[in-house]
Structure 1
Amino acid sequence: MPTPQKLPIVYVRGFAGDTAGIDKAVTDPFYGFNEGSTHIRIGPDNEPNFYQFESPLLRLHLDEGYQILVDGSQAIYLNSHATIPPESIWIHRFYDVSASTWSGRPKEFRMETAATDLLTLIDTIREKSGAPRVHLVAHSMGGLVCRCLIQKILPDLGRDPAECVGKLFTYGTPHGGITFDFGFGMLERLRDAIGVNGGQIFGPEHMYRYLTPESVADPDGRPEGWDPCEMPPDRPFAFPHDRVFCLIGTNPADYDVARGLSAAVVGPRSDGLVQIDNAYVPGAHQACVHRSHSGRYGIVNSEEGYQNLRRFLFGDREVKVALVGHRLPQRQDMAWQAEVGLSVRGLQIVMHERSSAHWCPVQLRDGTRSVTAGGRPTEAVTDADGAVPLVDTFLCSNLAPPGDTSTMRYALHLRILSLRESNGLLNFGDHLEQTADFDDILVVDVGADGATSVPALSAVWNSAISGSIRDYRPGSHARDDENPGTDSWVNHIELPHTAVPLVGADARLRLTVTPWR
């Protein structure tokens, strides 16, 4: 399989707030993309171990051979060089003109202006690098700047965004705006009316204006039921959902202490600023990580964020896992949830994690669909078997751990839990807290040879492995392709017999592996 082409990367930072916040943001030469983190974890004998994440900027230098090119400024470098390498990182410094430290007459920040300036930067980079497109990597509001470019600015110019943007990766972007957990909408209306620190840009009226091209905009304003999360696929020049990845933070507790009021107002189902239900584009790739919006345990300066970013941009295979064919026990007073966690051999973090403790379990419906607590489907379900998406991730065949390059090993932790209700309230009469009705780990080994699109794959449940998982070697658990003759590799894996009383004898985990470039 050919190695994916390295494209220039443009980083777009998030919201800085008022003038004081903007003045602070522009003092950073890389707008925060260079910030790393340190923390500890418990190791042997309960001793704390130090862990260091260098920053996405440095890691892309070290792991993927990227450069950041500065000669007094990146703008000066671009102006003084006729050619630049494609393997380069560029910072969209859209806030500079709005800083009072730059001049005595700072310009008011406007989303459309930031998006238009981003297009100018992209066109310059493409011309001088010879790269057909650039990748956009954005934190928070930066993802909305990118969507304004993709959904409004480029279509209004009659240009196809897919011809200049390769992939869009967002960290903690409020795709659905920023809403609050109480106040019955009054706090949002007050914010949007008086524009507290410029926060009105996260309200639906403003979002409709900068996410809707003039050719389809309703002259009477935002239509009823309009959803800002949507990137409509039926519009002219629609950007493919397959080229968008939304990383969702699920840890409100570790948001900056000084911003603790924000976490309290937004609510627990959030990263401290952006609610989980607002943090993704329906139909796009997504993963949940237990990280906060920013700060010491922020989503950008995290190993979890970087590993998802790296595999999405440079991976060569996509793997999807869905629960299909399940039939839950028919009880009006019973609700069902699934918890999932995806671990990769050689990494010290969990790539994707949805759990009750993190306020984001997968809500199961009887063979129909998976929904969020807010009611929006996590993914459109078109399969007759009512697929419930569990994992959507990417593999890099060149990232097999040193000393064992025969396979890439992944572990999918699956737990199924039941909750009993009575008159709309949870009934704890026969409840065992944090105890799942089903709990097992699917160990998947994928051939690390990237020369072929058809993987050699084996899968076995941990309950069938004797001894340590690390000592297990795939042998008799090889899986055949149920979809031969195409690029898509498919196999349905039976659940252990202990799960049959819960999900039925026909329940399977469907693994789908396809080439990714």
Structure 2
Amino acid sequence: MESIPPLPEPAMSSQDKLPIIYVRGFAGDTSGINKAVTDPFYGFNEGSTHVRVGPGEKPTFHQFESPLLRLHLDEGYHILVEGGQESYLDTHPEIPPDSIWVHRFYDASATSWGAKPREFRLEDAATDLLRLIEKIKAKSGAPRVHLVAHSMGGLVCRCLLQKVLPDRGTDPAEHVDKLFTYGTPHGGISFDVGFGVLERLRDTFGIQGGDIFGPRRMYAYLTPDAERRGDEPPDDWDARAIPQGPGRFPVRRVFCLVGTNPADYEVALGMSSAVVGARSDGLVQIDKAAVPGSHGAFVHRSHSGRYGLVNSEEGYQNLRRFLFGDLRIEAELTGHRLPADPEVSWQAEVLLAIRGLPVVVHERQAAHWCPLALPKAAAEGADAPPVPLATTFLRTDLPRPAGSPTMRYALHVRILSLRSNRRILSFGDHLEQTADFADSLVVDVGSGAAPGIWATWNSLIPGTIKDHEPQGSPLTDEDPAAGRWVAHVPFPETTRPLLGEQARLRLSATPWR
């Protein structure tokens, strides 16, 4: 029997877990900073009661306790406060490694404490974050920490990883194990209106400190001193990128959660999403919200508010599995040869559902402005380049339905064609909301006494998915290398005129944690 790579021991003790540090987003001017510092956990203790599912597409009640409380309840993490978390650290010689901390970098810039406030600089927030990490490591005995950041907080973390630590000659991986970002503007913030005038005004005058989202300031705080080539970023510089190589933070240890719902940011905060456009979470544009090469997921949530990313079940489930998962499963479309009609373009829609969760953990749809564009082959008779569809992280230690030896998830795949004539969409033979291919791959991952991976298309399953049990031997491992398992799942025969004879969905499994 072919088996998946050896997994860590399922049960995680407190010594296996690393401290988690939360880093909040942009507060704006002094009044916004003063408001932020009144919250004991900078907003990460906020939950929600609304979710956009239910009869008639009306919001329904779903109580999400908050990411801090859920990590305490689900993972046993300690939230330690005695007059202040900094005070707790200063007065206790030891702390448990499975503990949660909030980087309160805005406190020094608030006027409500009576002292002269310090002007906020992102580089100072990153340097202060390093001091907090060093103190937590020393008192917990943990080798590294996890960083979890919302919005601008992700840029504070990247400043630490890409500039502060390299300037000191320190490998950032010695301090940080994983970085998870919610709605971080990794590529800055730009606008769909004003023809660039709004960005130039913001970056020239630093209105409310917003120039930190412009290329000039981003280049300054994301680039080590030894690599700076003047004040202006070079033409080939990409703010989203984390350079790789010796002494660099591995991009595969980064997860970017991307929001695709701009409307609810406007409803929640009284701000218009029109200035950044529909392809956004209401503040950060979709194509600027992820680090190239990182892990990630798209969810139909807004930047913040009652339908926000941070206080969402979708965000928490992705965070929990990325930090504590045992197994990384990746899915790619390979070997496909779409019909070579120059007037037709192709898109894929993907949803990822994990058994036992009330939400999908990854969702890319045309209606949310984020379908996957399917490239065509470079030459006649050649396969198109592989297309990554989704990555998920599974937990062997989480409860499963009684009698089920496997972890299960489903990958929903829809492939759609768009016909155009001189770049104008043609609807002569169009059927709205109708895909040329639509099916779900049901994947079962076994462990313990029943290792292996089984995969079956939903269209081939008789009856309900709930009653489906994997049959026969698991898929054969096609990769001879140790520590990685790979198999290719053929598409249903009916797709051959569409996708070609060799189209496959490639599944890859590697240990994680």
**TM-score under structure 1 length normalisation:** 0.93
Match of 1:2 in 2: 8
**Alignment pair present for 1:442 and 2:441:** yes
| Structure-1 separation of matches of 2:383 and 2:180 | 31
Distance of aligned partners of 1:335 and 1:44 in 2 relative to their CA distance in 1, 3 Å threshold:
closer
Pairing partner for 1:184 from 195, 201, 220: 195
Match of 1:373 in 2: none
| Structure-1 separation of matches of 2:51 and 2:310 | 18
Pairing partner for 1:108 from 119, 133, 142: 119
Pairing partner for 2:86 from 75, 78, 97: 75
Q: 1:100: how far off? A: 1.1
Q: Secondary structure at the match of 1:479?
A: coil
Superposition pairs for residues 66-465 of structure 1, below 5 Å?
Answer: 66-234=77-245, 237-257=247-267, 259-367=269-377, 386-449=385-448, 455-465=451-461
User: What amino acid does structure 2 have at the position aligned with 1:325?
Assistant: G
Superposition pairs for residues 479-498 of structure 1, below 5 Å?
Answer: 479-484=475-480, 486-498=482-494
Identity %: 65
Distance of aligned partners of 1:46 and 1:142 in 2 relative to their CA distance in 1, 3 Å threshold:
closer
Q: 1:232: how far off? A: 1.0
User: What amino acid does structure 2 have at the position aligned with 1:250?
Assistant: T
Q: 1:482: how far off? A: 1.3
User: What amino acid does structure 1 have at the position aligned with 2:8?
Assistant: P
Q: Deviations over 1:233-269 (max 9, x none)?
A: 14x5210011000010001011143645441100000
Q: Secondary structure at the match of 1:23?
A: helix
| Structure-2 separation of matches of 1:220 and 1:441 | 50
| Structure-2 separation of matches of 1:400 and 1:391 | 23
Give unpaired runs (5+ residues) of structure 2: 1-6
Q: Secondary structure at the match of 1:225?
A: coil
Q: Secondary structure at the match of 2:263?
A: coil
Q: 1:385: how far off? A: 6.5
Q: Deviations over 1:74-106 (max 9, x none)?
A: 011000011100000000000001111122421
Match of 2:3 in 1: none
Task: Output the aligned Cα RMSD.
Answer: 2.0
| Structure-2 separation of matches of 1:49 and 1:255 | 18
| Structure-2 separation of matches of 1:387 and 1:265 | 35
Q: How many residues align?
A: 499
| Structure-1 separation of matches of 2:269 and 2:59 | 28
User: What amino acid does structure 2 have at the position aligned with 1:509?
Assistant: L
Q: Deviations over 1:291-323 (max 9, x none)?
A: 000000000000000000000000010000000
**TM-score under structure 2 length normalisation:** 0.94
Deviates more, 1:84-93 or 1:97-106: 97-106
Are 1:325 and 1:367, in contact at CA under 8 Å, matched by a contact in 2?
A: no
| Structure-2 separation of matches of 1:60 and 1:17 | 29
Are 2:336 and 2:383, in contact at CA under 8 Å, matched by a contact in 1?
A: no
Are 1:248 and 1:276, in contact at CA under 8 Å, matched by a contact in 2?
A: yes
| Structure-1 separation of matches of 2:447 and 2:94 | 36
Are 1:115 and 1:153, in contact at CA under 8 Å, matched by a contact in 2?
A: yes
Distance of aligned partners of 1:367 and 1:188 in 2 relative to their CA distance in 1, 3 Å threshold:
same
Give unpaired runs (5+ residues) of structure 1: 369-382
Q: Deviations over 1:139-176 (max 9, x none)?
A: 00000000000000000001100011010000000000
